[in-house]
Structure 1
Amino acid sequence: MDPYFLLLAVFGAVILLTAWLPLILKNLPLSLPMVCIGIGVLLVLSPFSSIVGVNPLENRYLTERLTEFVVIVSLMGAGLKLDRPIGWRKWGSTWRLLGIAMPLTIAGIAILGWAALGLGLAAALLLGAALAPTDPVLASDVQVGPPQSGEEDEVRFALTSEAGLNDGAAFPFVYLAIAVALSQASPQPFLADWLLVDVLWKIAAGLAIGWIGGKAMGFFVFQMPNRVGLSETRDGFAVLGITCLAYGTAELANGYGFLAVFVSALALRSVERRHHYHESLHIFAEQIERLLMMFLLVSFGAAIAEGSIFSALSWPIIAVAALVLFVVRPLSGWISLAGSPVTLRDKAAISFFGIRGLGSFYYVAYAVGQADFEGAPVIWVTVCSVVLVSIIIHGVLVTPVMRRLDHYRSG
């Protein structure tokens, strides 16, 4: 039996399941990421284990690039979904989550890494920065609906906009961890460069390139004369061009590409909010995102079954994972929303559903490629533990909780 054709058959079956399962899981306390991990586990335990292939989680560069791509596609999709115009008051919950909850979460996780896991300053800071952002890829069940669908209550909006922006907001802290790690090998002042370059310049460049590029693409897509606008093609795959152009341009300018992609999507929507082409772009982005997520999570499940991820698992790591998900994030989110007009039920949901996922893998893979971190295996095991528990707990609870919140609103 040719393993290549067997691989094609299994791959096709998994893709069909990924397309079909959301219909089955819609009203069940399960999520597609949970099923993908289960498929990976079953593949290793089945006669098809020989075709699972190279586990991307064991290859730092492959992990970095695959997770990077799925995150930027997800960020574009998240930005296209948001109907609410950007503003200080309209986005009040978002600014609170970014400006208060994010730093508190990073600090809380870093302290846990230092006190409970014995990590040094650089490694503890990297752990906090990697685990602080809400994941845009795995949080689709708590995000707003497609463009102009009307599914934009405060919980869904806050979590979607937070996931879109906090990847860019977390990156300065990843760079700070890298700078601290490099300074331990060669002591040099780094705070001034970090503040000027990694904070001020990279954020400003990401915002500016994203906004200007999104506005320019909006003209090209919707406002070109004589019916030659890109929207006339109705081709959804153009979203990949917009995404890669925004990301690549920002990175070439030494800015934050994640930030540029999300902002470019917001700017594109601002040019023409009600055009049907937004839905075509969003649908294609969602399909690509789901396909890449399926591949990565099936591989993650296979690595779990092989035992190559959790061989160094310990009780302190389990305790830290539980504290991150059930104490640090919820408490930080609750503090950040104190005094806001959001209802208590919505505050609780926003604070709890800070889903961790593939973005955390990207940050760790990127950072360990830039500097040597003492305790890197502990960081990997902790991140994988948090992501796995987050997928299971949030995946089980999100459907009944969001259904209950919708019931309270409609009542």
Structure 2
Amino acid sequence: MLFLAVGLAAFAAALLPRVLGRVPVSMPMVFLALGMGLFTFVPGLPSPVPQAHASVTTHLSEVCVLVSLMGAGLALDRPVGWRRWATTWRLIGLTMVGSIAVVALLAGWLLGFGLAAALLLGAVLAPTDPVLASEVQVAEPAEEEDAPAEDEARFALTSEAGLNDGMAFPFTYAAVAIATTGLGWAGFGHWLAVDVAWRLGAGLAVGVGAGWLLGKLFFNSPVRPLRFADHAEGFVALAVTAGTYGLAELLHGYGFVAVFVCACALRAAERSHGYHRVLHSYIEQLERLLTVLILVLLGGALARGLLAPLRPLDVVVVLAVLLVVRPLTGWLGLLGSRTGPRERAVIAFFGVRGIGSVFYVGWALQHADFAQPDRLWAIVAFAVAASVVVHGITATPAMTLLDRRRQRAAVDRHGDESLAPETAV
């Protein structure tokens, strides 16, 4: 029975993206519902509630996020630059930080959490997700140098999700420090020097260095067996992900940042080479399988009582975060940027919450004692489930409308080239 269920789930993971197409139903919605159904109606299945499997939950979500970060970095066609990535920097420096502050304030003021738990909730719910947001992100690497430019909305949401999973870590460390020893002036100095400056710097350095070195090996190595681009070995992407993450963690850097930066640096080594598509395709398939597993287990946990500690005001705050806080901070963060109003609205609204939030809350609760841990889990799980439904329903129509308006604007600017021969006649 178990092997049959695994086989059917894997088959569905490959089939559903093709079948759903432009229907306003996402793959995460289907597997979340499947998990709820399985653990409700199939007897004898063990409880998948994350509190009972804290280490497994943390590591499984960690691996899923890592794989998705590598895929996001490889998919981005646009070279890294201050002006070229201006939208991303705004979303990280203004929107994410603003969202953490607002959510922490709401958690302390309305939900009654102490400073540590309130800050943790802000850090957990702030980062957008590179795993569950495929409908609004860049699809795959372009192979041709003259490939069409990425639209700003998909680029912004992909690059933001790639970076802010690691950039939220300093705030999680701050919450853990407050919960364990408090955060006086000495503690604040340590946090600023170590958890912000050193860990971010080490993550960036490892990512850039690993990406540059691997790029030289893969594409230009004088030793032919090391020139993996000639052999189209996709599983090498997994080795790159694990090796980069392990080295960054060994140096006490942020491995999430290192993996995404490494992927961007590797892509920059030979931007238009077809090997990037091979690597991305392997990563995408692995990511999809891990996502299916986690969503089925999360759906099962919801069915087995994970939301029991949830209070009515918790529901209100979560919906406010998804429908008000993120859209408002996203819109304000992009004011004055080069994005148009429609793109700005899409970028601001689609702050998808997902597997990254599961990892952060699991990691934090293993490193410190927070008040009401079961309630924290319930709030985060509800936020992920609500995001899956709200953003899953709206993603396809919103992106379709944005694409049509972009195409119409392009025709208005340049004329319909397909009519040129008739006009000449």
Question: Is 1:328 the counterpart of 2:325 in the alignment?
Answer: yes
Counterpart contact for 2:307–2:379, Cα < 8 Å: no
User: Matches of 1:274 and 1:78 in 2, distance apart?
Assistant: 16
User: Matches of 2:372 and 2:277 in 1, distance apart?
Assistant: 45
Using the TM superposition, give the Cα deviation of residue 379 of structure 1 relative to its aligned residue in structure 2, in angstroms. 1.4
Question: Is 1:192 the counterpart of 2:189 in the alignment?
Answer: yes
Aligned to 2:208: 211
Counterpart contact for 2:47–2:301, Cα < 8 Å: no
Using the TM superposition, give the Cα deviation of residue 114 of structure 1 relative to its aligned residue in structure 2, in angstroms. 0.4
Q: Paired residue for 1:347, among 340, 344, 348? A: 344
Using the TM superposition, give the Cα deviation of residue 273 of structure 1 relative to its aligned residue in structure 2, in angstroms. 0.6
Using the TM superposition, give the Cα deviation of residue 375 of structure 1 relative to its aligned residue in structure 2, in angstroms. 2.3
Q: Paired residue for 2:154, among 152, 156, 172? A: 156
Using the TM superposition, give the Cα deviation of residue 385 of structure 1 relative to its aligned residue in structure 2, in angstroms. 1.1
Counterpart contact for 1:43–1:52, Cα < 8 Å: no
User: Matches of 2:313 and 2:60 in 1, distance apart?
Assistant: 30
Aligned to 1:383: 380
Runs of 4+ with >3 A deviation: 51-58, 186-189
Question: Is 1:230 the counterpart of 2:225 in the alignment?
Answer: no
- Taking a change above 3 Å as real, the CA distance of residues 275 and 49 of structure 1, as seen in their structure-2 partners, is farther
Aligned to 1:28: 23
Aligned to 2:416: none
Aligned length: 403
Code of the aligned partner of 2:152: E
Question: Is 1:408 the counterpart of 2:405 in the alignment?
Answer: yes
Aligned to 1:69: 63
Aligned to 1:316: 313
259-268 or 310-319: bigger deviation? 310-319
User: Matches of 2:191 and 2:21 in 1, distance apart?
Assistant: 45
Aligned to 1:3: none
- Taking a change above 3 Å as real, the CA distance of residues 115 and 53 of structure 1, as seen in their structure-2 partners, is closer
Counterpart contact for 2:207–2:259, Cα < 8 Å: yes
Larger Rg computed on CA atoms: 2
SS at match of 1:311: coil
Aligned to 2:198: 201
Counterpart contact for 2:48–2:300, Cα < 8 Å: no
Using the TM superposition, give the Cα deviation of residue 400 of structure 1 relative to its aligned residue in structure 2, in angstroms. 0.4
Q: Paired residue for 1:98, among 73, 92, 102? A: 92
User: Matches of 2:377 and 2:47 in 1, distance apart?
Assistant: 21
- Quick one: percent identity of the two aligned structures? 47
| CA deviation profile, 1:233-288 (whole Å, cap 9, x unmatched) | 21111100000011000000000000000000010011101111100100110111
User: Matches of 2:283 and 2:154 in 1, distance apart?
Assistant: 19
Counterpart contact for 1:57–1:299, Cα < 8 Å: no
Using the TM superposition, give the Cα deviation of residue 168 of structure 1 relative to its aligned residue in structure 2, in angstroms. 1.4
Code of the aligned partner of 1:58: A
Aligned to 1:175: 173
| CA deviation profile, 1:112-142 (whole Å, cap 9, x unmatched) | 1001110000000000000000111111111
Question: Is 1:135 the counterpart of 2:129 in the alignment?
Answer: yes
Counterpart contact for 1:312–1:381, Cα < 8 Å: yes
| CA deviation profile, 1:327-382 (whole Å, cap 9, x unmatched) | 11111101100111110000000000000001001001111111111122221111
Aligned to 2:411: none
Using the TM superposition, give the Cα deviation of residue 225 of structure 1 relative to its aligned residue in structure 2, in angstroms. 2.1
- Taking a change above 3 Å as real, the CA distance of residues 56 and 120 of structure 1, as seen in their structure-2 partners, is closer
Counterpart contact for 1:334–1:347, Cα < 8 Å: yes
Code of the aligned partner of 2:68: S
Counterpart contact for 1:213–1:246, Cα < 8 Å: yes
Question: Is 1:121 the counterpart of 2:118 in the alignment?
Answer: no
Question: Is 1:356 the counterpart of 2:353 in the alignment?
Answer: yes
User: Matches of 2:285 and 2:169 in 1, distance apart?
Assistant: 26
| Stretches of structure 2 lacking an aligned partner (at least 5 in a row) | 409-425
| CA deviation profile, 1:271-329 (whole Å, cap 9, x unmatched) | 101111100100110111110110010011111122x2111121111111111001111
Counterpart contact for 2:48–2:301, Cα < 8 Å: no
Question: Is 1:372 the counterpart of 2:366 in the alignment?
Answer: no
Aligned to 1:38: 33
User: Matches of 1:52 and 1:218 in 2, distance apart?
Assistant: 45
| CA deviation profile, 1:81-131 (whole Å, cap 9, x unmatched) | 000000011001000001100110000100110011100000000000000
- Taking a change above 3 Å as real, the CA distance of residues 151 and 360 of structure 1, as seen in their structure-2 partners, is farther
| TM-score, normalised by the number of residues in structure 1 | 0.95
